[in-house]
Amino acid sequence: VYKAPLKSTGDEVAVKVQRPFVLETVSLDLYLARQLGIGLRNFAPSFVTERLDVIDLLDEFAGRFYGELDYVLECENGERVREDMRNLPRVLIPRNYPEVTTRRVHVAEWVDGEKLSQSTADDVAELVNLGVVTYLTQLLDTGFFHADPHPGNLFVLASGEVGLVDFGQVKQISGRTRLLLARLIVALAGRTPPPPSRGAGDSAAS
């Protein structure tokens, strides 16, 4: 990722350039892994193949990985999340620039800050809660969420905002799934702690 000024406007942008031959290398690796999976399917004991279909697992992984290598798709994902989160206070989703983005070059607004996991801000606990609220909003409200929340993708900005970057991995969940998740969270939040255990000398009356 490189920091650069956008020629047309002068905006500071992050330019992510895909390494040469990544697509070809990944394709070869996935092909070889799939050939091994076919051998496992043919020769592994039935109790193994009944529990795990390696080919289906690899095919699912391959589809997601190829999607992550398409920066045009990442740009579209980022703009969709940015629109969904526009009314959430103190949350910055960087602007994307589709007019200068290609499959192998992605251009987005530069986010200048420190990683949330390494922040020394006085209100870091509040900022962490804000990050949680951001993800819960995506999961329970829009159903379209950032699926790669590692520490390198969450920033604390000098403005006191939380910045969320890198939308190569996203996921859409149905309204039914969102409802089930909401019920689960409500159930967990409403659980009462068990009564304290009594010592050997305690009586019911005490």
* Confidence category of residue 48, pLDDT binned at 50, 70, 90: low
| All residues at 6 or more sequence positions from 141 whose CB lies less than 8 Å from its CB, including other chains | 84, 178
> According to the per-residue pLDDT averaged within each range, which of 34-43, 107-116, 149-158 is highest?
107-116
Backbone angles phi, psi at 96, to 5 degrees: -105, 160
Q: For residues 3 and 14, is the Cβ–Cβ distance under 8 A?
A: yes
Catalytic residue among 122, 148, 166, 202: 148
**What average pLDDT does the segment 25-29 reach?**
94
* Confidence category of residue 205, pLDDT binned at 50, 70, 90: very low
- Please say if 122 is a catalytic residue: no
How far is the C-alpha of 52 from the C-alpha of 64, rounded, in Å?
A: 19
Q: Which residues pair with 140 in a beta bridge?
A: none
Residue corresponding to tokens 């989160």: 85
Amino acid occupying residue 6: L
Long-range pairs, 132-139, Cβ under 8 A, ≥24: 133/88, 134/85, 134/88, 134/91, 134/162, 134/164, 136/185, 137/84, 137/85, 137/88, 138/81, 138/84, 138/85, 139/173, 139/178, 139/181
Q: What is the pLDDT of residue 200?
A: 47
Q: What is the pLDDT of residue 195?
A: 55
- pLDDT surpasses 50 at 65: yes
